[in-house]
Amino acid sequence: MKPGQELTQSTNRKHYEVILLATLGAVIAASACTSKPKPPAAVSQPASGSVRPVAMAVTEPAGPKTVAVAEVSKPSVVTKPAAKLLTYRSRDYGISFVYPWQYSYVNAKTIANGDTSLRPKPDGHEGQFTLARVEVPKGFYPDTDFKSGYFLLSLNQDMSEQECTSSLSADPAKLQMETINGVDFRWTEQASGGRGSASKTRNYVAFSNDTCYEMELGVKTENDGLAREIDPDQVMHRLNAILKTVKIDTGAEKPATPKLQSSAENKPASPKN
């Protein structure tokens, strides 16, 4: 090959490389221009197509809290039932009294035919007889020297009013007076004791319906040195509660002859409301 031809071919080759590089650059630029950018991520819209502004929460200023106080109902007042009481009543002699149902009742027939310890202090006249006896149970005073506590109702229709009063066998200056349900009673108290035994007795008399009504309240104790001593006045208080219920019908007629009550009349009955 001639030198001139070699120069021409070299020049042509360089020219061709320049054109090739230019063409390649144009292709790259065109490719860059034709590529589209990705669209931004879609934002979800409400179904209604409208956007509602969010309501702003209103905060109350801090202050003392109001505490709801539940209404407390007042407890209902429960009335305790009254203790059951029994009523002794003698229509023949116009007298009655009330005593607790726990106490023991002894009728006139049992007293007349029983031991003398069931009978009252004699009034010194033949016509005395006992209608009823009520005893406080020993179980009320366990492990004590309590022996007996009793209420006795007797009467005598063969005595005058003066004899009725004098039957108490006491110094007139020591006699005491007490009005029970409209009737005046005279009464006296005696106490005795010795060798571990003691007794306190109160005797009451009232003259009405040409009859001397007699009541005896007694407390007896017996101590062997081991039992706890009781206060006799506590037992006497129980017996006095019976005495306060004694009612004498001042309009009752005097029976022709004294008689004991029948078993039906002697049976205690609950008081009527």
- Tell whether the model's pLDDT for residue 144 goes beyond 80: yes
Kindly indicate the confidence band of residue 161, based on its pLDDT and cuts at 50, 70 and 90.
Answer: very high
Residues in Cβ contact with 234 at an 8 Å cutoff, skipping those fewer than 6 apart: none
More confidently predicted of 11 and 54:
11
Which fold is adopted by the domain 85-266?
Protein Transport Mog1p; Chain A (3.40.1000)
Across 196-223, b (16+ Cβ under 10 Å) vs e yields eebbbbbbbbbbbbebbbbbbbbbbbeb
More confidently predicted of 262 and 129:
129
Kindly indicate the confidence band of residue 251, based on its pLDDT and cuts at 50, 70 and 90.
Answer: confident
More confidently predicted of 257 and 219:
219
Phi then psi dihedrals of residue 120, to 5 deg: -80, 175
Half-sphere exposure of 170 (CA within 13 A, CB side): 19
Q: How does pLDDT run across 42-64, given as a tens digit for each residue?
A: 444 444 444 454 444 444 555 55
Q: What is the pTM of this model?
A: 0.65
Tokens of 116: 């003398």
Helix (H) or strand (E) holding 6: helix 3-34
- Cα-Cα-Cα-Cα dihedral sign, residues 242, 248, 253, 258: positive
Residue 106's closest CA among 139, 151, 163, 62? 151
- Tell whether the model's pLDDT for residue 36 goes beyond 60: no
Four-CA torsion 247, 248, 252, 256, nearest 10 degrees: 120
The whole-number average pLDDT for the span 111-122 is: 92
Kindly indicate the confidence band of residue 31, based on its pLDDT and cuts at 50, 70 and 90.
Answer: low
Q: How does pLDDT run across 148-160, given as a tens digit for each residue?
A: 999 999 999 999 9
Report whether 149 contacts 104 (CB < 8 A): no
The whole-number average pLDDT for the span 164-171 is: 84
pLDDT at residue number 269: 55
pLDDT at residue number 195: 83
The whole-number average pLDDT for the span 87-102 is: 96
